[in-house]
């Protein structure tokens, strides 16, 4: 049966506050970011705005633009261009979501039907491309060659990560190292860039931009590993990510990779049938959870996430003790214990 991850309720409430403290810290600037995004979505082809806003208005945590804004505050920067940078990283992120949903044939995103389910694959891919184009417009508007270079390289790395994931679809024999390289490119790189630009726009010495890059990279690894975990391990008394989506879609995530390599012949045949061949029947998800429990997979994965979280915390040590630093440290604990 699906596993229940029992945690201390008071601790979980405290960790959740870490996210809302971050949101409160950047709330005024975040409104400006959202307004800029809405403004940039306006164009002479109403259909583009319709499809784009379908996902933007569905919500989402906005964690990447918030990291951008918070990192700038950590570096004592009040340059108005940080608003454009935050909007830029959100455009890049949202573009990849449109592409991901087509590649994964996902039915739902943020609790609503995906764009490709409503308007088809062609429209979804093209709108994703449009959003990438908008991100490049913002990069140019910022007029800082170092930041332009970083953001354009990040977009390229993200796309390569998407291609690597596509090529490994249903390949349950890939190694953990291979998978970590994929999520490093596909997820963590944008986290790293979102944080690093805060130091760059503030003209801080390289040691600070490197530290924020390391913080973001390891925070992103923590985020994605926990996201993989949430598909198989729910948090008692909390409503979060719906369990079993990744399994139903045949996604090869870290729990599947470890379970396949650790399993016996019977277990490996099960993973080949349900994930590689996508032949699933009622009760298979519960059996998958039983195998994960048997091999202690989820606890081991949580320890891996904690490792990356600790590296992220260490990266912030170079910064003086101040409110912004504490909020970013608390964010790590939120991600490790998140239920949404």
Structure token digits, residue 95:
């573009």
Q: Which residues of 2-32 are buried (b: 16+ CB within 10 A; e: fewer)?
A: bbebeeeeeebeebbebbebbbebbeebbeb
Q: How many residues does the chain have?
A: 340
The neighbouring-strand residues paired with 234 are 4
Q: Beta strands 233-235 and 3-5: pairing type?
A: parallel
- DSSP 3-state assignment of 337? coil
What number of CA atoms fall less than 13 Å from residue 246's CA on the CB side? 22
Query: In this predicted structure, what is the pLDDT of residue 258?
Result: 97
The tokens for 255 are 């729990």
Evaluate whether 134 touches 98 at the Cβ level (below 8 Å): no
Task: Give residues with Cβ within 8 angstroms of 161, minimum separation 6.
Answer: 182, 183, 184, 185, 186, 187, 189
Smallest CA-to-CA distance from 339 within 12, 96, 10 is with 12
Q: Quote the DSSP letter at residue 275.
A: I
Alpha-carbon dihedral 203, 23, 323, 32, rounded to 10 degrees: 40
Q: Which residue has the tokens 């995530």?
A: 253
pTM as predicted: 0.90
Dist. CA 220–CA 185, nearest whole Å: 10
Q: Where are the alpha helices (DSSP H) in the chain?
A: 9-25, 27-41, 46-56, 63-74, 81-104, 115-119, 121-142, 145-167, 176-183, 189-201, 206-230, 245-248, 254-262, 265-271, 284-294, 297-315, 323-336
- Least Cα distance to 286 among 241, 240, 238, 247 occurs for 247
Q: Are 292 and 229 in contact (CB under 8 A)?
A: no
For residue 66, give the nearest of 33, 105, 35 by alpha carbon: 33
Q: What is the C-alpha to C-alpha distance for residues 65 and 191, in angstroms, rounded to an integer?
A: 9
Cα 16 from Cα 333, distance rounded (Å): 9
Are 22 and 331 within 8 A, CB to CB? Answer: yes
Residue 14 is predicted with a pLDDT of 54
The CA–CA distances, whole Å, from 96 to 89, 191, 215, 238 equal 11, 14, 22, 28
> Pairing mode, if any, of strands 112-113 and 108-109?
antiparallel
- Which pLDDT does position 104 carry in this prediction? 76
Copy the structure tokens of residue 229. 């975990």
For 15-336, CATH number out of 3.50.50.60, 1.10.600.10, 1.10.3720.10, 3.40.50.720 equals 1.10.600.10
Encode the chain (340 residues) as per-residue pLDDT tens digits.
444 444 444 444 555 677 889 999 999 999 999 999 999 988 888 888 888 888 777 777 899 999 999 999 999 998 889 999 999 999 999 999 888 888 877 777 777 888 888 888 898 899 889 999 999 999 988 888 999 999 999 999 999 998 998 888 888 989 999 999 999 999 999 999 999 999 999 999 999 999 999 999 999 999 999 999 998 876 443 434 567 888 988 889 999 999 999 999 999 999 999 999 999 999 999 999 999 999 999 999 999 999 999 999 999 999 999 999 999 999 999 999 876 5
Q: What is residue 334's predicted lDDT score, i.e. its pLDDT?
A: 92
């Amino acid at each position: 049966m699906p596993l229940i991850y029992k945690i201390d309720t008071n601790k979980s409430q405290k960790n959740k506050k870490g996210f809302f403290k971050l949101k409160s810290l950047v709330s005024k600037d975040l409104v400006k970011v959202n307004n800029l995004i809405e403004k940039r979505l306006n164009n002479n082809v109403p259909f583009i705005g319709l499809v784009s806003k379908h996902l933007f208005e569905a919500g989402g945590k906005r964690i990447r633009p918030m990291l951008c804004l918070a990192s700038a505050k950590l570096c004592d920067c009040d340059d108005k261009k940080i608003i454009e940078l935050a909007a830029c990283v959100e455009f890049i992120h949202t573009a990849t979501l449109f592409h991901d949903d087509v590649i994964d044939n996902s039915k739902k995103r943020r609790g609503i039907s995906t764009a490709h389910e409503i308007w088809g694959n062609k429209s979804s891919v093209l709108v994703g491309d449009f959003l990438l184009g908008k991100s490049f417009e913002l990069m140019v508007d910022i007029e800082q060659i170092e930041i332009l270079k970083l953001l354009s390289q990040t977009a390229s790395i993200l796309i390569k990560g998407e291609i690597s994931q596509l090529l490994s679809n249903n390949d349950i024999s890939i190694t953990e190292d291979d998978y970590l390289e994929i999520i490093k490119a596909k997820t963590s790189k944008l986290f790293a860039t979102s944080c690093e630009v805060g130091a760059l726009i503030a003209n801080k010495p390289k040691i600070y931009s490197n530290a924020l890059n390391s913080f973001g990279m390891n925070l992103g690894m923590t985020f994605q590993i926990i996201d993989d975990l949430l598909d198989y391990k729910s948090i008692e008394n909390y409503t979060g990510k719906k369990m079993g989506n990744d399994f139903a879609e045949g996604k090869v995530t870290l729990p599947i990779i470890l379970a396949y390599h650790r399993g016996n012949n019977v277990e490996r045949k099960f993973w080949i049938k349900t994930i590689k061949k996508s032949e699933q029947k009622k009760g298979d998800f519960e059996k998958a959870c039983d195998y994960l429990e048997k091999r202690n997979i989820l606890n081991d994965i949580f320890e891996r996430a904690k490792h990356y979280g600790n590296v992220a915390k260490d990266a912030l040590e170079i910064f003086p003790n101040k409110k912004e630093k504490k909020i970013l440290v608390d964010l790590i604990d939120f991600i490790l214990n998140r239920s949404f």
